[in-house]
Amino acid sequence: MFSFKGRASRGRYWLISLLSLFISLIIILFSLLAIPTIFYMSIFSPTVASIVSILLYVLLIPLWIISLATTVRRFHDRNKSGWWILLSLIPIIGGLWILIECGCLKGTTGANRFGEDPLIIITVPQPLTGQLS
């Protein structure tokens, strides 16, 4: 999940993106709503509430890396360099472009310069059943 090498399918891209968004929203809402309540309704000092809030935001770092790596692998599936992620620096248009490119368009069929097609199902031969005569 933390690897920037290889390819990712559209399904994996959407799964990771939506899951990361959901978890991030929960962490942010908890830190914005629950931490002040804990601070004002308890004996905790402002320092404890601040530390808890910082720790919650530290949890966002792995989510961000996983999401970034999945987007780079999705660009690889489209046979493009991971540097295309820098489009996200362009306000509105960059994010929209990445959403269309990674979330809607089909990846390269078969192997490309970044690896094998993530949608190819590898079949493993099954052992023979029955008796030999």
Q: How high is the pLDDT of residue 126? A: 66
Mean pLDDT value across the chain:
84
Which letter, b or e, does each residue of 35-63 get, where b requires 16 or more Cβ atoms within 10 Å of its Cβ? beeebeeeeeeeeebeebbeebeeeeeeb
Per-residue confidence band for 132, with pLDDT thresholds at 50, 70 and 90: low
- Structure pTM? 0.77
**pLDDT tens-place string over residues 106-122:** 999 988 999 888 888 66
Q: What is the pLDDT of residue 53?
A: 75
User: What confidence tens digit (pLDDT) does each residue in 4-13 have?
Assistant: 999 999 999 9
130 vs 83 pLDDT, higher one:
83
User: Which pLDDT value is given to residue 122?
Assistant: 63
- What is the pLDDT averaged over residues 30-53? 68
Asked if the model's pLDDT at residue 89 lies above 60, the reply is: yes
89 and 24 Cβ atoms separated by less than 8 Å? no
pLDDT at 18: 95
